[in-house]
Structure 1
Amino acid sequence: MIILKAENISKQYRLGLVGTGTISHDLNRWWAGIRGKEDPFLKIGSVNDRSTKADSDYVWALRDINFEVKRGEVLGIIGKNGAGKSTLLKILSRVTGPTTGEIKTKGRIASLLEVGTGFHPELTGRENIYLNGAILGMSKAEIKAKEEEIVQFSGCERYIDTPVKRYSSGMRVRLAFAVAAHLEPDILVIDEVLAVGDAEFQKKAIGKMQDISKGEGRTVLFVSHNMAAVQDLCTRLIIMEHGRLSFDGGVSEGINNYLNKDRTTKGYRDFNSDNSTVLSNFSRFEIKTVGDEIASQFNSGESIVFHAFVKVNSIIRNPVFSLRISDLNNVNVVTWRSNDFVKEPIPSNIKEDFEIVIKTIDLYLLNGNYTLSMSLLDGIELLDARIKFLDFEIHPSKPNKQFQTITKEKSTNSLIYSIADWKII
C-alpha cells in the first residue's frame, strides 16, 4: 500500500533575499497567475550546486523529484551537504510548500528535522509532550496513556518538569525523538538530528525505528550521513545530488554508488616527496598482481602484492612499517606491521632508499572497494604517514577448494571469508 507519493516536486529559492526582491517581479508573478500562465521565474534558475559560483539570482533546491513510499518501508535519504535532503523533508512534513508538484500522504506525519523541533522553550518537557501530541491531532487521554513510556525512553526523568530551554541539545533530541516515535504517527520523518545524541541513545533510537517499521508497520524516512546506521535500518535508499534524485533502489548498492562516486583507482601513487628535514618519507606506492603488473582490481582470494618505496635522508635505526586496509565505512579490515608475524623484519640502521613488499596469502575480502593507509616509524617516532591514499576494488570469486565447502558462493555480510576448526562437545 502506497502511503506517501511525491509527484514532480520542485523548490525554487531566490539567493540572498526573501521573496522575489522587487515589486515588479511580484507583479509579474501575480499577472501571470491571473491569466493562467506559468510563473515566469520558473523558467530561470541555476542547478543546486553549493560549490560553484551562482550564475543566476534563483536556484532550484529541488527539481522534478518523483518517488513512492509503501507502508512499513524505511526509506533512507543520503547525499552531500546542500544536495536538497532537508528541503525535501521540510516539504514532506508540510513545513514549507513546493514551488511545483504535489505531495500525497495517508495518515499523520511526525517530523524531527532539527534539535528541539516543535518544542516551546518556556514550557517544561512534560508540557511539550502534550503540546506535540495535540499538534499531531491526539486527544489528551491518548497522550496520557503514552506519557510514562515517553519519559522513560527519553532518559530525562529528572528534568521532565524543567523548562526545555534549560536542556542540553542532546536532552532535547532525546525527548523530541521519544515524543515523535511514541505518539504513533503513520509516517516518521527523521533528519540528521540523531547524531547529536550519545552512542547509547543512537543505538536505542535505531532499535525503536526498527520496531516501528517491522513490528507496527509504520513508515520511516531517515536522513543520515552515518552509512552504518543507514545500512542497518533502511530497506530502500534514494540518493540526492544537486537537488535531483540520482539513485532509487537497494541499500547496499546505493551506499556503494554513493561512497565510490568520484573515487579513482589506478593501482599506484606518487608522493613526490623531497623533504630533507625528516629522516625518511614515502616516495611511491604500487599495487601489483603476482605477475608483476600494476592493477587496481582483484578477485577475492587472489594474491595482492603491495610495494612501498621509501626515501631515506638519514639513518633509520629501528624502522617499523604498517599497512592498513579499510572499507569505505572506515572499518579497519586488516593491518600488517613489520614487527608482528614477519619472518624477515626490516633491518636496523638503514642508510639508503629501500622498498617494502607485502604479498597477501588467502585474503578473502568481500567484494567492494577498499582504501589503504600506511605509516613508517623509527622506534616510536613517526617519520611519515599516508591516510586513505589509494583505493582498490575486489570482485567476487569462487574460493579455493579449502573454502568451497564453507562459503559455497553464498552472499555474506562479513568483511572477509575465513575458516575455523569446529567441534561439538
Structure 2
Amino acid sequence: MSEQVETADVIVVGAGPGGSSSAAYLASHGLDVLLLEKSTFPRDKICGDGLTPRAVRELIHLGVPIDEADGWHRTRGLRIIGGGMRLELDWPGNATFPPFGLVRTRQDLDEILARHAAARGARLLEGINVQTPVLDERGHICGVEAKVMGPDGRATGERREFRARVVVAADGNSSRLSLGMDRPKRDDRPMGVAVRAYYETPRHDDPYLESWLELWTKDAQGERDELMPGYGWIFPLGDGTANVGLGILDTSEAFGTFDYRDVMKRWIDTMPGDWGFSEETRQAPIRGAALPMCFNRQPLYDRGLLLVGDAGGMVNPFNGEGIAEAMEAGRHAAEVISAALARATPGEREAVLRSYTAAMKDSLGGYYTLGRGFATLIGKPEIMRLAVKYGLPRRSLMRLLLKIMANLPQERGGGLDDRVINALSRMTPAA
C-alpha cells in the first residue's frame, strides 16, 4: 500500500452537476482545482433526467453546447394528467429563463459536465473514493484521504491524500465528507424517494414531459381499482427510450410502507398502449434513490468545507429537481471561493467563505421554506385529491403553479405573477 500527497487551491469531491460546475467555474477563475470522482465515467445516476429551463440556464451560463444534434432532447413544457384531465402547459420563457427544457441521461450529462470542467482547466481524477477529511490544528479541513478504485469498482489497496485551502463537498446524499465534519442530516426537512427505469418507446421524441398526479391500478375487469401513493413521470429522451419513474415524499402517511418497485410495475400496467411500456421493453432493473430537500444538511459552510447539491440537501421540494439547484450552488460556491482566496489574511478569507451560506439562502432559502409547507400539504391524500379536482380545470392557475413549482419567475420586473412569486420568496424566512 502506497500513499501520495497532491496539492491544489481547491478540492471538489464528487463530479456530479454541482461538483463539475464548481470545478469548471473555479478553474475559469484561474484557480488550481482537483475534481475527485469515486467512479469511472461513464457511470449511471438515479434521476429523472429532465432539465427544466432553470437547469438549461445554468448550462448556458457554463458554456456547455446544448445543440439537439449533439443528443439533447428539447422539451416544450409539461403535460399533467390527473382527475380524468390532460393538460399541456408550455414552459414560461422570459428574460431570465429560456422557453424550453432538455432531457439527457445522467450517464451522459455527468460525463459531459466533468469533461467540460477538465477542458476549463480542472484536474479530473476518476476512481478516487474520498473517505475522510484531513484537519489542521484549528479543526478546519485542509485535505482529504481517499481509496483508489480499479476499473471494476473495487479498491486497489492504494491510498492517496490531497491537500487544499478549501474543500467543496459535492458527494451526494450520503456525503461521507459532511458526516466526517459533523454535519448530519436534519430531520425537520422533507425527504423524497424516487424509483425509475428506462423503457423503449415509439413516443421517445414527445416534446412534453409528462406528470401523473394520480397512480391507479386496475382490477381483473380492467377498471380503476386502487389509488396508490406518489406521483409518476415520463420523460422522453429522444433516443428511442423514455425515463419512467415515480416519487413519494416522506410527508405522506404511506411513506416507507410499500414496495416502490412493485407500485411502479402496477402503474406501468395501466399506461396507454401507445407508449409501448412493458416488462419486455424495460431496458434495465428499476432502481431507486433518496431525494434530500430544503437544505437538510447545515451549515452550508463551516471550517473550510462548502456543501453543494445533494450533499447540502438542495433538491426542490415542489418538483423533485436537483440538477438546476446543484449547478446554481456550484456557481455561487466558485464565486465565493475565488473572492475568498484573493484576500490577504486568514480572517478575511474566512469572512468571505462564510458568505456562501447567505448567498444560497438568499437564492433559495425562502423558496424552500414555502416548499416545506407545500410538501406537508400534498402528503395528505385528501388535499391532493381536492387540488387535482379543482386545480387542473383552471388553466391560468396551473400556468402560475408551473412557474412556482419549477421556480421560473423572471428575476427582475416581469408580470404580476413573477412579482408575486419573488415577493413571497423574499418575505418567507429562510431556515
Q: TM-score range by the shorter chain?
A: under 0.3
Q: Select the structure that is richer in helix.
A: 2
- Greater percentage in strand: 1
More relative contact order, 1 or 2 (CA 8 Å, 6+ apart)? 2
| TM-score using structure 2 length | 0.20
Structure having the higher Rg:
1
